[in-house]
């Protein structure tokens, strides 16, 4: 099981390198079901692992001129603030026991995993449908809708703050459609936004959790190696087909988590 867990950790980075997202969707289930980490702590670990890995990928894309730093900071104004506030003030205030539904006790851990599974289902549908994104040159002729951009940032910040998910599957279409950014630049820019959101969100966790730094740095290093492998494979594999296949995998995992947390709890 441990070997599978470490392989899955590498795949977190590989998915980020291949399709610019998806890594955070895997991190929490890997932490919870393969490493046995508490779900709430797993969301914190996910922020650090995904943030560190995405930062490595963003730097690699920045050297190629595929990161729009100005857009990342503009978009990040709302998302980063939202993530930090949620991790600093909202997460510590959530009680362990939430509600009883008959004989079924809804705890903080169960709710975290159920919400994460719902996010996985939404992400999988977005990847499987693979809608054709309009030509960025056409999108670029439209003025940037700043209020909508900030609103999207808040929405992604809420998902990242509550669940430790970077939201790459939401970021890339947003950057292409609202900003008119070319796809490759959108992937690189999304990695920088994910890195900023995740690492600043993790900073909001400091003092709330007892962090196993050796374990966290080890998994982050493995995932960071994976992102280079993903970037290498990206040049040789049809990323659209891979994205759709990954979407089906995420869909199955999301359904499994829902069944496990709701119907198979003792």
228 vs 115: which has the higher pLDDT:
115
- Whether the CB-CB separation of 120 and 164 falls below 8 Å is answered with no
So what's the pLDDT on residue 265? 65
Of 40-54, 79-93, 167-181, 184-198, the poorest mean pLDDT is in 167-181
Residue 136 has pLDDT above 80, yes or no: no
| pLDDT at residue 143, as a whole number | 60
Q: Quickly state the pLDDT bin for 178 (edges 50, 70, 90).
A: confident
The Cα–Cα gap between 119 and 112 comes to 11
pLDDT class of 213 with cuts at 50, 70, 90: very high
Q: What is the pLDDT of residue 175?
A: 82
Q: Is the pLDDT of residue 211 over 80?
A: yes
Mean pLDDT over 202-208 rounds to 87
Q: How high is the pLDDT of residue 240?
A: 67
Q: How many domains does the chain have?
A: 1
CB atoms within 10 A of CB 238: 9
pTM of the predicted model, to two decimals?
A: 0.83
**Residue 219: which region, alpha, beta or left (left: phi > 0; alpha: psi -120 to 50)?**
alpha
Please state the rounded mean pLDDT for residues 100-115: 87
Domain hosting residue 141, numbered range = 2-262
pLDDT at 37: 92
Measured in degrees and rounded to the nearest 5, phi and psi for residue 100 equal: -105, 130
SS3 62: helix
Supply the mean pLDDT for the chain: 82
Q: Three-state DSSP class for 153?
A: helix
User: Which residue matches tokens 């900071």?
Assistant: 73
Report, as an integer, the average pLDDT of 46-52.
Answer: 89
pLDDT at 196 over 80: yes
For residues 187 and 21, give the distance between their C-alpha atoms in angstroms, rounded to a whole number: 8
């Amino acid at each position: 099981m441990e070997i599978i867990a470490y392989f899955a950790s590498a795949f977190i980075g590989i998915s980020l390198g291949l399709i610019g997202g998806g890594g955070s969707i895997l991190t929490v289930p890997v932490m919870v079901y393969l490493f046995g980490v508490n779900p709430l702590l797993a969301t914190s670990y996910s922020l650090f692992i995904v943030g560190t890995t995405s930062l490595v990928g963003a730097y690699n894309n920045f050297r190629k001129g595929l990161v729009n730093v100005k857009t990342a900071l503009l978009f990040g104004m709302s998302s980063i603030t939202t993530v930090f506030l949620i991790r600093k003030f909202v997460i510590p205030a959530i009680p362990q026991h939430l509600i009883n539904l008959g004989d079924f006790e809804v705890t903080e851990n169960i709710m975290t995993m159920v919400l994460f599974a719902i996010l996985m289902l939404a992400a999988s549908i977005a990847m499987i449908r693979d809608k054709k994104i309009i030509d960025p040159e056409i999108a670029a002729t439209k003025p940037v809708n700043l209020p909508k951009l900030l609103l999207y940032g808040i929405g992604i910040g809420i998902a990242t703050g509550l669940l430790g998910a970077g939201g790459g599957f939401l970021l890339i279409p947003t950057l292409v459609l609202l900003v008119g950014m070319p796809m490759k630049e959108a992937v690189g820019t999304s990695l920088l936004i994910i890195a900023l959101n995740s690492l600043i969100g993790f900073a909001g966790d400091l003092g709330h959790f007892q962090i196993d730094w050796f374990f966290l740095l080890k998994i982050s290093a493995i995932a960071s190696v994976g992102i280079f492998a993903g970037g290498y494979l990206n040049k040789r594999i049809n990323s659209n087909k891979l994205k759709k296949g990954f979407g089906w995998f995420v869909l199955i995992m999301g359904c499994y988590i829902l069944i496990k947390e709701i119907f198979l709890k003792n």
